[in-house]
Amino acid sequence: MKIPIVNEQDEIIGEEERAVIHRNGLKHREIHVWLITPEQGFIFQKRGLNQDTWPGFFDVTCGGHVDLPNETYEECARRELKEETGVEVPLTFILKKYSESFDPNTNTQNNAFRATFAGIYKGRVEDLKIENDAGLGFQVFSLEDLKKIKENEESKKLFIPRFLDDSYADIFNNIINNLFTNENQS
């Protein structure tokens, strides 16, 4: 299946197969959705071993490519959340930014405009449904857990590196502030 490729202004300029996009580092659109527990734990998904990038690593609760030229980031986030977890929750837009990353395990380049959304999940983590063979399960980590993992060389190897980067600490705090400030005002 081909997905849209974009220019520096996030305007669609064509389409290409996912494998070609990652092999050649073409710019494209992605979403990340974080589910957060009421206790402010971040739900990570462990990627399946057959994934073309970061196989077997802990990743965002769900993520995906904006597949259709007329699909919005938010529509994609809702679709991917349902496909990858089996649940629907109200989502809050957090931010959109361009990022470039390289996976040395698979020799792939990911250059994407990524919109991040988050929602509070009040159910049991064990009830989240893994999409086909895309993942190996879900696990909750608090911000404190992530700080400890960042300091442990062996534990760090279990996560996609960007999630233990200082810039992501700011994103995690932004998510907590957005979700729990909004919830308290409702």
Summarize pLDDT for 122-147 with one digit per residue, the tens: 999 999 999 887 889 999 999 999 99
Where in the chain are the domains? 2-185
Q: What is the mean pLDDT of the chain?
A: 92
For residue 185, pLDDT beyond 60: no
pLDDT at site 69: 83
57, 59, 174 from 51: Cα distances, Å: 10, 12, 29
CATH of 2-185, picked from 2.40.70.10, 3.90.79.10, 3.30.310.50, 1.10.150.120, is 3.90.79.10
- Cα–Cα distance measured from residue 111 to residue 169, given in angstroms and rounded to the nearest whole number: 21
Predicted pLDDT at 182: 59
* Confidence band of 119 (pLDDT split at 50, 70, 90): very high
Cα 26 off chain centre by: 19
Which has the closest alpha carbon to 181: 31, 40, 62, 81? 40
In this predicted structure, the answer to whether residue 186 has a pLDDT above a threshold of 60 is no
Q: What angle do CA 175, 169, 162 make, to 5 degrees?
A: 110
Q: Enumerate residues 6+ apart whose C-beta is below 8 A from 16.
A: 2, 3, 5, 26
pTM for the model? 0.91
